[in-house]
Structure 1
Amino acid sequence: MTARTRWASPPARPGYRDRRPVRSPRSRLLAGVLAAAATASLLVGCEPGSADGSGEASTGGPGGCPSVRGRAQAAVVRAEQTDVPWNGPTTGPTATSGKTLVYVAQAMINPGVAGAAKGVREAARAIGWNVRVIDGGGTPAGIQAAMSEAVALRPSGIVIGGFDPGSTTRQVSRANAEGIPLIGWHAVATPGPSRRPELFTNVTTRVEDVADISAQWIIAHSDGRAGVVLITDASIPFAQHKSELIREELATCPGVRLLSYENIPIADASNRTRWEISTLLSRFRGRWTHSVAINDLYFADAAPAFRAAGRKGSGPPFNIGAGDGDPSAFQRIDSRQYQSATVPEPLTLQGWQIVDEFNRAFSGRPASGYVAPVHIATAENSRGATSWDPSGYQEAYRMIWGR
């Protein structure tokens, strides 16, 4: 709908007499009421999911996108299943010996990065290798220094833990030249081998799947009518890409309105999130029904602001983390304290996969090609767990390695 054009009365000409009938105050009032009603009807027709054209989500009546909502509900039901059999590799090279890995972390305060590092350490003990973790501290200078240190150590392999290899091109090129295999965890947008930058493989769920299912959870949970705040970290290309995909999927349901798209760097989350959330609560009030963030940690920092505003821990807004699924997120979900769901990475599993992929690289074998499926954890299906850890993978990898 285009904005209505306001027509002005024709200018008076010399000798011109206005012969239009003069209306009484009562008739002018009645005409104004009818015109306002007609305009309101047109505005509602142009803004699905809005009661007044302002973007406020309606809580009554049928959902705003029946066909999209139906697909979303079916996808959510599948993703909430917990009895998923192991569908990863069952064959591969036996364990090589005497290897040392360096895990370069974007920031160990990032629960996903730390969780994957924990999995690498655990798997390394199982296969008989050594691991060293170097924390980049979440800053470009810190990450570059950590990568320089890692390459200088001349390890058997280096893990790029949660940062863009493009920010350390000199160090990556040096590792490639020295024949040190690089494996990423959330280092580039897609799973599998990468040529530019040169990575043996990148371990991650498919960002498209994570983005879609988190947006579909909002569509299904809200019955197709929601006012959403989306939080991202634009300094991390992987996270920025994920948030753009979330926004695109939310837009498939006209009844779901994106109220605000907030850029809060993870390194600044503890300082900025509470203030930003307080500002958004004052701005949107009851229109804000759901939130989605590219990392669960934002909701830990947001909780004090929600609490100070008198919001109940069980929502609204109903909050979902589109990634990682660290123990504190599971605790908030289980206790219904300002987080309703998460799309967790199977972090420990991915740590074991990283070690298995290195073993394939050291043995001259190709990458496994395994990609873990997405999962949604809620209070109803997590049953007090503090992580998403599918069954069967440890036994499978130990059997492959002969350990």
Structure 2
Amino acid sequence: MYPKDSHPRSHLRTPLTTAALLTAAATLLAGCGSGGPSTGAAPPKAGCPTALASAGAAVARAENSDTAWHGPTTGPAAVPGKSIVYVAQTMTNPGVAGVAKGVEEAAKAIGWQVRVIDGDGTPAGIQAALSQAITLRPSGIVIGGFDPQLTSQQMARAEAADIPVIGWHAVGSPGPSERPKLFTNVTTKVEDVARISADWIIARSAGDAGVVLFTDDSIPFAKNKAELIRKELATCSGVRLLSYENIPIPDAASRTAQAVSSLLSRFQDDWTYSAAINDLYFADAAPALRAAGRPGSGPPFNIGAGDGDPSAFQRINSKQFQAATVPEPLNQQGWQIVDEFNRAFAGRPASGYVAPVHIATADNSDGATSWDPSGYREGYRRIWAG
């Protein structure tokens, strides 16, 4: 992470590849017109000219890195002397761990105490971790990346104890939730993340791709994201979903390589693109792709629909079996969680802020290892100073 609000991408341009995508889309639309190309040549092959044009425009906007902070500018001054427990689904999930780091950084800035408890990726472990968190009687508890329905008894205990709970990727939508009881849920909009991930495949492939989709159906949020990706891919008839691979995140390290080897045997050169609900699948896929002689720069061209952890950026920047990610601003979301707790402690409503989607590639990341938009640290410090 970069200190304060200094960030080397503050003056980046939209990648040149974006212009190429838009040009390709426009050409395809022209080729599908009633008159056809003026040269008399056969029209370009495209299964979805309208979807392709729309995808190209959306990708152009999402790849723009020259963005400013548009989060909250008003709110309560820092409430002193508070403590937070961050209950993690598993700290092996880079997104969960990245948000935990942001919470710790923001808590230090506001003057609070933080403790992280790892649920180790199992229902029993998560239930035990949340039980431990409640026993500690903190001022607030974070649900870090797991379904609160797995811990309904513990959630009821937290509510009975008047301990506010904030989720990160805990339910399918951002904002407050009554059942499960969450003061708010911090996440990008899963619909936007799923749509732009699929749009990137549609646009980059010019509407002609064979796709493998990796997901974890044990997490409702992830299952919903995968279904939305599938739905958006289906808007282009030239994009074919070859396989839907359900591999639980805690099992990804042990199961992904074998799955990839099987997929390569089944589909061979027809497998040209992949999408995954989390970048970590591509870390585990890389050895199998490398062993099969596939080039690091693709195909298959791989995009992670979250979370944009440092290892994903390293793979993208070095062109090693991942081409793009739709990163959550993990550190910023950690700061947002602390700010939302401060609003809860002060008797104020949640801020309602939702971070916009972004696509990171080797062309626009400028060698960075996270998507860390500028301005939020200064903005939140200003609010908390009163």
* TM-score, length-scaled by structure 1: 0.85
Return the match for 1:279 from 262, 270, 281.
Answer: 262
Once the two structures are TM-superposed, the CA of residue 83 in structure 1 deviates from its matched residue by: 1.0
Please name the residue that 1:371 is paired with: 354
Please give the root-mean-square deviation of Cα atoms over the aligned residues, in Å.
0.8
2:139 aligned with 1:163, yes or no? Answer: no
Distance between the aligned counterparts of 1:314 and 1:61, measured in 2?
A: 25
Distance 2:94 2:108 in 1: 21
DSSP-derived class of the 1:231 partner? strand
Deviation at 1:61, TM superposition (A): 4.1
Q: Distance in 2 between matches of 1:354 and 1:286?
A: 44
Of 113, 116, 140, 1:133 maps to 116
Count the aligned residue pairs.
Answer: 344
* Matched letter for residue 382 of structure 2: M
Structure 2 residue 30 is the aligned partner of structure 1 residue 81: no
Residue of 260, 277, 283 corresponding to 2:243: 260
CA–CA distance in 2 between the matches of 1:77 and 1:305? 32
1:62 Cα shift? 2.5
Partner of 1:390 in structure 2?
A: 373
Which of 134, 156, 177 is the matching residue for 1:151? Answer: 134
Partners in 1 of 2:318 and 2:181 — Cα distance? 43
Q: How far apart, in 1, do the equivalents of 2:222 and 2:163 lie?
A: 27
Letter in 1 for 2:372: D
Aligned residue number for residue 344 of structure 1: 327
Match of 1:200, SS state, is strand
Asked if 1:299 is matched to 2:272, the reply is no
- Quote the residue 1:122 is aligned against: 105
Identify which of 94, 101, 104 aligns with 2:77. 94
Q: Please state how far the C-alpha of 1:64 moved relative to its aligned partner.
A: 1.5
| Deviations, residues 30-73 of structure 1 (Å, cap 9, x unaligned) | xxxxxxxxxxxxxxxxxxxxxxxxxxxxxx94222101000000
- After TM superposition, which residue ranges in structure 1, 4 or more long, deviate above 3 angstroms? none
Code of the residue aligned with 1:80 in structure 2: it is E
Paired with 2:51 and 2:350, the residues of 1 have a C-alpha distance of: 36
Q: State the AA in 2 paired with 1:257.
A: R
1:349-400 CA-to-partner distances (Å, cap 9, x unmatched) read 0000000000000000000000000000000000100000010110000000
Question: Secondary structure at the residue paired with 1:275?
Answer: helix
Q: Which residue matches 1:314?
A: 297
State which of 214, 218, 226 in structure 2 corresponds to 1:235.
Answer: 218
Query: Residue 91 of structure 1: CA displacement?
Result: 0.3
For residues 32-111 of structure 1, what are the structure 2 equivalents within 5 Å?
A: 61-111=44-94
Match of 2:232 in 1: 249
- Match of 1:244, SS state, is helix
2:161 partner letter:
E
1:181 aligns with 2:189: no
Letter in 1 for 2:340: E
Q: Which amino acid aligns with 2:244?
A: Y
How far apart in 1 are the matches of 2:191 and 2:253? 27
Q: Secondary structure at the match of 1:381?
A: coil
How far is the alpha carbon of 1:251 from its aligned partner?
Answer: 0.3
- Give structure 2 stretches of 5+ with no counterpart: 1-42
Matched, 1:325 2:308: yes
* Alpha-carbon distance in 1 for matches of 2:336, 2:60: 27
Q: Residues 132-181 of structure 1, C-alpha deviation per residue, up to 9 Å, x if partnerless?
A: 00000000000000000001111000000000000000000010011000
In structure 2, what residue type is equivalent to 1:364? G
Question: What CA distance in whole angstroms lies between the structure 2 residues aligned with 1:64 and 1:384?
Answer: 35
TM-score by length of 2: 0.88
- One-letter identity of the residue aligned with 2:260: I
State the distance in 2 between where 1:126 and 1:402 align: 11
Q: Does 1:192 align with 2:203?
A: no
Q: Deviations over 1:304-361 (max 9, x none)?
A: 0000000000000000000110000000000000000000000000000000000000
Q: Distance in 1 between matches of 2:359 and 2:45?
A: 25
Instruction: Give the superposition deviation at 1:228.
Output: 0.2
Counterpart CA distance in 2 for 1:379 and 1:85 is 21
Kindly name which structure, 1 or 2, has the bigger radius of gyration based on alpha carbons.
Answer: 1
Q: Alignment identity in percent?
A: 74
CA separation in 2, counterparts of 1:380 and 1:138?
34
Question: Structure 1 unaligned runs (5+)?
Answer: 1-59
Matches of 2:364 and 2:296, distance apart in 1 = 19
Which fold has the larger relative contact order, with Cα–Cα distance below 8 Å and residues 6 or more apart in sequence? 2
Alignment match, 1:220: 203
**Alpha-carbon distance in 1 for matches of 2:60, 2:109:** 35
State the match for 1:44 in structure 2: none
After superposition, the C-alpha distances for 1:103-127 in whole angstroms (9 at most, x for unaligned) are 0000000000000000000000000
Q: Aligned equivalents of 2:44 and 2:263: distance in 1?
A: 26
Q: What whole-Å deviation, never above 9, does each CA across 1:165-215 have from its counterpart, x for those lacking one? A: 000000000100110000000000000000001100000000000000000
Distance (Å, rounded) in 2 between the aligned partners of 1:164 and 1:119: 21
Alignment partners' CA distance in 1, 2:46 and 2:248: 34
TM-superposed CA distance for 1:85, in Å, is 1.1
